[in-house]
Structure 1
Amino acid sequence: MKKFLRLLKPLFPWLLALGDALGVLGGYYLAFILRFAGVLPPENWQAFLQALPGIGAVTWGIFGTLGLYQRSYNGFMPVLRAALTGVAGVAVAAMALTFWLRGFAFPRSVLLLAPPIQAGLICLWRCFFWHLEHRIYGRRELLVVGPPEEAAEILGKVLELPRGWFRVRRVLAPGELGELKKWLPAVDAVLVVPSLSREDKAGVVGACLKARREVFLVPDLYDILLIRASLTQLDDLPVVEVQDIRLTWPQRVTKRAMDVVVAGLGLILAAPVMALCALAIAVTSPGPVFYTQERTGFRGKTFRVYKFRTMIQDAEKQTGPVLAGEKDPRITPVGRILRATRLDELPQLFNVLKGDMSLVGPRPERPFFVKQFASEIPDYHYRHLVKPGLTGLAQVNGKYTTSAADKLRYDLYYIRNYSLLLDLKILLQTIPVILGGEAARGQSEADPEKRAAIHALVNGQQEATPGNRGQQSAW
């Protein structure tokens, strides 16, 4: 049965999309049944049928933009939040669609009844499918290739995944690559760290392709630049052309126009919420409501960023610049809520209107940390080729505790692949991230059990016998 399901893997996104559409449309049907006690008035039902193709297309568009048709290893809760965000988006779009089509016979009571039903149906469907994917794609034996110190950092990420996706069998250092062919029959996939030499990477990928094993490569700048490279020729010589990573002037103009329009509307709509935030800060904590801080922006120029104050007044007077921790005592009770919901970032809409920032882009860092990161990561300055943003790819896919190097990989991928559609996609994906709150938490202390597991794997203490898939590591 499992082999048969593996053969159907290419059809999984289509099956997911079909189930989502049936869940949304089924929610409307059940809402009609509840509203009219099982008897469907022809004129009302006809208005629904008229809007049905548009609702189906909107469902797939919103769910696809939220990344719900991509494989996710990060647990079911992110999928659930994205699905609920999608249901809410479909509800708003359906109201607009019926107004546009002049479908006034479409009952407003049905439009209100349907979303809770759809949420239940979609959650059940997604829960079933997530566990099905977990059973088919998960429980894979993983071999990590790279220097032990760097491998230990990456293992920390792997061991944070829900149990059952991967079991780490061994860490192979560069000097042990001679054992790769011996270990490949014992694993399903190989994870390659970015610092491995280009020659060694090519050897590992070639061996994995020959053995029909999956490869996960943590990219460096060179890998990211090749993503949009195009094949051309010089006479009969095939060459790969790597284009400039900067945004073109039409892209900059389009991006700026969207920033002004959306930030202006955002400030108008968010005004009541911002007033409540300001009142809560003023009542519960002495000091100013707003907080300004110097940040590094476009082309390395500094500017003052606006935020709601979330820490006690003069929080860094004694310590100097320090990153916030998960249980940082400097954060006020109201500030903790504002950070978790990202409401403390709302005043930065003024920065967007001024032109210091964009809606989407790399998050601006303080000059103190920029100098520190730039000294450690040679490619760090590339993130300043675009304006910093309220949100970004690193904020959607990462956490507060994500390393500067990993955030840089997301930022460079964003710059390399920039489009207006990508900006809209990131803005929409920010909503479920805000609902979760995990991405805004400070740095947390490492789990002692996880530290021990990483140490054992890096030092080869939990290795299984090559070729024996019955023995497993603790993870």
Structure 2
Amino acid sequence: MKVFVLMLDCVFIYVSYMLAYKLVYHGDIPLPEWNTFLGYAPWLGLFTVVPYYMFYLYDFAGRQKPGTYLYNLMLAHLVFVVELIVLNYWLKTLSLPLTVVITAFFTQLLLTFSLRLLIFYIQSQGIGRKRAMAVISRDQADLSGLEQMLGKGSVWLDLQYVVVMDGDEAAPSDSMWEDVDAVLLAHDLPADTKSSLIRAAGTRQIEVLLIPGFYELSLVNAEPQQLDDLMIYSIMPPHLTLIERVMKRSVDLLISSLLLLVASPIMLLMFILIPLTSRGRALFVQERIGLHEKPFHLLKFRSMIDNAEQGTGPILAGDGDARITRLGQFIRATRIDELPQLINVLRGDMSLVGPRPERAFFISSFKTELPHYTYRLMVKPGLTGLAQVKANYTTSAEDKLRYDLLYIKNYSPMLDLRLLFQTIMVVLKREQSRGIRAEAKSAAELGLEKLLNPAAHEPPAASKQLQG
């Protein structure tokens, strides 16, 4: 399907520009303008497909909603226009009328979004929407995961059963298996329970949606080897090879230099505005832990009041934190406060892409709770990363660690490039920059109390049942 959609996208770009020329010139395209279009034509398909790929517009297995597709399409089309401007500057002899570019922009947006809307409709009406069964423990993290599935995943998953596995209680019945097309397994379930459920799902040709534990993540890209006639997996600690480190450093130096040059007017403005709007220096320097647990001085624009932690000690910023200044709210939401870290990248303390650097105080706590946390310290910390693109500021350290380890296991220059493009989306979304909430939600607040305690409430809807 991806190849088919890609080909249609290429057709749409040419159709969009042909229609734009026809509309702008009332059906009679002047010969010089036609020759200009022919000069651009060989590039249009490539200029469309590359940003579409970078913004995950061919990721139909990701179960994205129409709003996400539209948002990504608009950003991809803006990148497309920038590509045309760069091409025009490079070739010098070609030019496209602004009215043609604007008309083609909206025509292409309409056509490509309509195609993805059709795919979404087909998926949500049967091909993609599946009857699901969730198998969880009573752990708070499992309850939160179930709440997310009930909320954000309702378009794709029609939850039929919730099975709570406590101790040696019975597994899902045969009748439950017959009623579902997918089973969601929580990560806190015992390994033998997961194995049994995956085997049961496999014999019935049922999709398994597994929330991975760190054991499952350690198997990603494990190398199959052989000892005589015995097949084994070689699992190395997550790290980058020498060639990967050299390539990554070269890209860091090139892109961070260009970004510093482009961002220098904004940074100069911050050096003026921050001291004018609140007492203290514009630049905030804080010790963070980097590669191989070596400390370094991270640079940020100050977004809080001066000496914000003097009376509290190290604490994470909260949602609506009173310590954040009015200007600080803006620069945190737009990620302007992170721009000085481009200097850290040039100095070699950080990379453009990688796990976010943390303070020693919090790392000590995370190490106690998450033994695998030390793995993320085997690569340079980054200005942005997979956890920053896929998760929110409020996402738990455990879930962010999953993304960080997955990034290290799957590192490639192309992945870095895609994450840099995706960071544009993060910058434009305020939700992902909000502070942590004061406390975890209870089962009642998550809307699960009736599912988990059916005897104390009215019976749930016929499609929702509980065992365990």
What is the total number of aligned residue pairs between the two structures? 461
Structure 2 counterparts to residues 92-103 of structure 1, below 5 A: 92-98=82-88, 100=90
Look up the match of 1:152. 143
Q: 1:357 aligns with which of 329, 350, 353?
A: 350
Residue in structure 2 matched with residue 8 of structure 1 by the alignment: none
State how far apart, in whole Å, the 2-side matches of 1:177 and 1:212 are. Answer: 24
Which residue, 149, 158, 170 being the options, matches 1:178? Answer: 170
Give the letter aligned to residue 78 of structure 2.
A
Give the stretch that moved more between structures: 102-111 or 23-32: 102-111
Corresponding residue for residue 54 of structure 1:
43
CA contact (8 A) 2:39 2:94 kept: no
Q: Distance in 2 between matches of 1:87 and 1:177?
A: 53
Aligned ranges for residues 93-242 of structure 1 at < 5 Å? 93-98=83-88, 100=90, 104=94, 106-107=96-97, 110-111=100-101, 113-136=103-126, 139-149=129-139, 150-161=141-152, 163-168=154-159, 169-175=161-167, 178-182=170-174, 183-242=176-235
> Aligned pair in 2 of structure 1 residues 234, 211: CA closer, same or farther (>3 Å)?
same
Partner amino acid, structure 1, of 2:30: P
Identity of aligned residues (%): 37
CA distance in 2 between counterparts of 1:462 and 1:33 reads 67
Displacement of 1:463 after TM fit? 11
Q: Which residue number corresponds to residue 314 of structure 1?
A: 307
Gaps of 5+ in 1: 1-10
* Equivalence for 1:451: 445
1:54-96 deviation per Cα after TM superposition (whole angstroms, max 9, x unaligned): 3212312221121111134464333322211110111122333
CA distance in 2, matches of 1:105, 1:32: 13
With over 3 angstroms needed to count, the CA separation of the structure-2 counterparts of 1:280 and 1:123, relative to structure 1, is farther
In the alignment, is the contact (CA less than 8 A) between 1:191 and 1:217 conserved in 2?
yes
Q: Please tell me whether the aligned partners of residues 396 and 426 of structure 1 are also in contact (alpha carbons under 8 angstroms).
A: yes
Structure 1 residue 360: Cα displacement: 0.1
Contact persistence 2:296–2:349 (CA under 8 A): yes
Deviates more, 1:317-326 or 1:358-367: 317-326
- Shift in alpha-carbon separation, 1:409–1:452, aligned structure 2, 3 A: closer
C-alpha displacement of 1:325: 1.9
1:403-446 deviation digits (Å, cap 9, x = unpaired): 11110010001111111111111101111121122211112366
CA gap of 1:220–1:448, structure 2 versus 1, over 3 A, is closer
More moved, 49-58 vs 381-390: 49-58
CA distance in 2, matches of 1:35, 1:200: 65
| 1:223-372 superposed matches below 5 A | 223-372=216-365
Q: Please, which runs of 5 or more residues in structure 2 have no aligned partner?
A: none
Q: Distance in 2 between matches of 1:184 and 1:153?
A: 24
Structure 1 residues 268 and 35: alpha-carbon distance in aligned structure 2, compared to 1, 3 A threshold: same
CA distance in 2, matches of 1:459, 1:177: 16
1:348-379 per-residue CA deviation (whole Å, 9 max, x = no partner) reads 10111111110000011111111111100110
Kindly provide the CA deviation profile for residues 236-267 of structure 1, in whole angstroms up to 9, marking residues without a partner as x. 33333334521111111111111111111111
Cα RMSD (Å) of the superposition? 2.9
Superposed displacement of residue 126, structure 1: 3.6
Answer whether contact 2:366 2:397 (CA < 8 A) is retained. yes
TM-score scaled by length of structure 2: 0.89
Are the counterparts in 2 of residues 309 and 335 from structure 1 also a CA contact under 8 Å?
A: yes
Relative to structure 1, the CA distance from residue 318 to residue 78 in structure 2 (aligned partners, 3 Å threshold; closer, same or farther) is farther
